[in-house]
Structures are given as C-alpha cells and as structure tokens.
Amino acid sequence: MTRAIASGGPEHLGWGVDRHLAADTYDAINLNTRATGQWKNKAPTFPTWPRPKPATPKGEKRRTTVADIYRRFTERQARGG
C-alpha cells in the first residue's frame, strides 16, 4: 500500500513490474496484429490496456539552463560580489 500511494494513489495497488510487463505485451501483440493484418480498408484501432495515471510531482522544479547560470553570474558581478 505504501508503494502504491508513493506511486500516485490507491489505483496503483497491485501494479508491479509483472503487471506493467503484461500490459506492455498485450499492447505489443495488438500493435503487431494491426501492422501485419490484411485489412480490406483501414486497419482497426485496438484499445490499449488501461493503466493507472502516473504521478506528477508536486512543486516540480524547472531545470536550470545555461542562460539561468549566466544571468545569476552577471547579477553577482553587477552587485560586486
């Protein structure tokens, strides 16, 4: 339960590596069937296996760019520091 809550909530309960691999295998088989099937017209779309939504980190920090580093450096130089 702790791992499920850390992953994003109670909907992640039971979703270990084995379940993710099984869902990926299901989707791969459907994609292979769609790609190699002999369809009269347009190939049908197969639904993907439903998965829990991934957790989005709260307070996600923006990556520091080179421009940010340069701006901080020039501000420090302008202040005499």
Domain boundaries, the chain: 1-55
| pLDDT score of 17 | 87
Taking only the tens place, the pLDDT of each residue in 10-69 is: 788 888 889 999 999 999 999 999 999 888 888 888 999 999 887 666 666 667 778 877
Q: What is the pTM for the complete model shown? A: 0.60
Tell me the backbone φ, ψ of residue 24, rounded to 5 degrees. Answer: -65, -40
Asked if the model's pLDDT at residue 81 lies above 60, the reply is: no
| pLDDT score of 19 | 92
How many residues are there in the chain?
Answer: 81
| pLDDT score of 50 | 92
| pLDDT score of 1 | 67
Burial of 12 (0-12, 13-18, 19+ CB in 10 A): buried
**36 neighbors 42 (Cβ within 8 angstroms):** no
